[in-house]
Chain A
Amino acid sequence: MSGALVDDDIAAWRAAVAKGGAVTSADADELEGHLRDQIADLVAAGLAEDEAFLVAVKRLGGVDAITAEFARAHSDRLWKQLALTHAAAPAAGERLPLRMVVFAAVAAVLLDLAQAIARLGEPGGWVLRDLGLFVLPVLAAYFAVARRIPLRRAAVLVLPVVLVAVVVNLYPFRAGGDSELLVAEHLPVLLWFVVGVAYLAGEGRSSSRRMDFVRFSGEWAIYFVLIALGGGVLVGLSGLVLAPLAPSAGDALATWVIPAGAGGAVVVAAWLVEAKKNVIENIAPVLTAIFTPLFALMLLAAVVVYGVLGIGHAFDRNLLIVFDALLLVVLALVLYGLSALDPVRPGGATDVVRTVAVVAALLLDLLVLGSMVARIGELGFTPNRVAALGLNVLLVVDLAVTAWLSVQLLLGRTTAERLERWQTDYLPVFGVWTAVVVLVLPPVFAFA
């Protein structure tokens, strides 16, 4: 009855209406039927088919108005999208959550196993130090399976993980020394890079895919925190409910249930990010937009205060960690802000705010670095100071280039894509440095 061209138009119109989830496929059938009836009547009245299509679409009303009205009538549908049964467009090539469940269970069991072994033998710091090793390789394996990475390439991934695991556990750390603490801090980060390699499945050279992994990391963190909040409420209430019957239930929950739950949540959060890409993407940019200006203000205040008073006296180890955490958060905000940026949009107010934050962070980092160099000149090297110095040098370089490119972007002399590429190109440098801290620093400083 209607020609192929009109069929295409109808299909495009139908897709536009169905986007967003308020209009189900059955509703779209109904609307499409209406559209076709109308077109048929108009054609019978003498209109050409394409004209009839335009008139029929106009009579149905704007797509936005229709979907908004459907959303009002079925507000539950927009929420239902979060339900597990509606897994929308899974990018990992995944149909069944079964695989996710299995990997989550493996991570949970491994953590509890480690816990059990630690209880049998001497309770050392090794469980805490190796924490990442029980969970993150499982997540990497999950991606390797979900992405169907060929066996040979998967082996290339397994080798470094095994190597790191063996080396770290053979190192004769001095109990309670800084080296072991440093490894405990850096090992999960190093393994996260391994997860990244598995996530990218051989497309690691592409800047936009790396940015995907950055997005994934941010969204994963949000999901993990949300799951942890829910889990915390569940465990807390369970402890309270069981307390009258079994006073030690709280301890058991803390020892066994919390680690297993956290381990499982690592995989579940990753699966949710993949399955629900479009849901949280709406939240992460909002969070970034809220916090970037606030952090910019805070950094400016810090620069002024420390610039005037000098950083030297108040400076100690704890403050250094705070500063490094602050700079990393700023970097994450910048990276996340970039990842949510519309690549064709010209510089706006958010770009100005981000540039201010980056420049302030750069100044602050230079202050920190200056004070650190002075301190090392005075007291000599320790594993902590080397790790901190290295991180801050990397950060200064990153922030300096980012600041330069941000200013250029504001002046319209470069593109957001160039800035994004710098960030994604620089990411592996952090990975290499983390590997150095985990593998090289301990022997250099005699495992102190």
Chain B
Amino acid sequence: MDKDLVAAMASPLVLSILAEGDTYGYAILKRVRELSRDELEWSDGMLYPLLHRLERSGSVRADWGASPEGRRRRYYAITDSGRAQLADQRRQWETANRTLGGIWSRAASGPSTSLGTT
């Protein structure tokens, strides 16, 4: 998948996963792989700067906890402002989906008819 598109998706994707419940970085990536059926090429290290950006902008809250093995682990949770941001981004993506979906479904069914009229 195109890098720019992945980058644009990254923030709503992470916020959506966090909207399902509090979790930590590695689990977020596992969920991403699962959702995209491994088709989303994403180098794992990029997730953390993104999470930190979201934390700084107030969309996400981070707290140190511990993993079951006793290692330090950072857990992330979505905030109210994060939910508002997600709702906004969702509207935009739905618009993009509708627009592209509209033209693509027409293109799939009717290029020959449109040719025929001219």
Contact = CB atoms under 8 A, between A and B. Distances in A.
Partners in one complex: yes
Interface of A: 1, 27, 29-31, 33-34, 36-38, 59-62, 65-66, 69-70, 72-74
B58 to A, nearest CB: 15
Contacts of B71: 33, 36
B45 interface: yes
Interface stretch (B11-19, B47-55, B78-86, B100-108): B47-55
A33 B46 CA distance: 15
Interface in B8-54: 24-26, 29, 43-46, 48-50, 52-53
A30 B76 CA distance: 12
Contacts of A60: 43-45
Contacts of B24: 33
Contacts of B98: none
Given A30-B74, A33-B71, A65 B45 contact: yes
B44 A69 contact: no
Contact of B52 (A34, A62, A66, A73): A73
Tell me the interface secondary structure of chain A in the complex: helix
Contacts of B63: none
A69 B45 contact: yes
A37 B34 CA distance: 16
A39 to B, nearest CB: 11
A65 B43 contact: yes
B48 A30 contact: yes
B67 A33 contact: yes
Contact of A38 (B44, B49, B69): B44
A70 B49 contact: yes
Contact of A74 (B25, B45, B52, B69): B52
B49 A61 contact: no
7 contacts: A29-B72, A30-B72, A33-B25, A38-B26, A66-B46, A70-B52, A73-B53
A66 B45 contact: yes
Contacts of A59: 43-44
B25 A30 contact: yes
Contacts of A34: 25-26, 29, 44, 48
Tell me the interface secondary structure of chain B in the complex: helix
B61 interface: no
A60 B52 CA distance: 16
Given A73-B53, A74-B52, A33 B45 contact: no
A61 B67 CA distance: 23
Contacts of A66: 45-46, 49
B26 A69 contact: no
B48 A27 contact: yes
Contacts of A69: 45-46, 49
B39 to A, nearest CB: 15
Given A65-B43, A73-B53, A74-B52, 6 more contacts: A1-B69, A70-B48, A70-B52, A72-B49, A73-B52, A74-B49
A33 B72 CA distance: 7
Given A33-B67, A33-B72, A37-B26, A73 B45 contact: no
B69 A61 contact: no
A72 B48 CA distance: 12
B10 to A, nearest CB: 11
Nearest to B46: A69
Nearest to A63: B45
Interface string B90-115: 00000000000000000000000000
A37 B74 CA distance: 13
Contacts of B49: 66, 69-70, 72-74
Interface string B59-76: 000000001010111100
A25 to B, nearest CB: 11
Nearest to A40: B69
A61 B47 CA distance: 11
A67 to B, nearest CB: 9
A406 B24 CA distance: 58
Specify which of B48, B67, B71 lies most central, judged by the most chain A CB atoms within 10 Å of its CB.
B48
Contacts of A36: 71
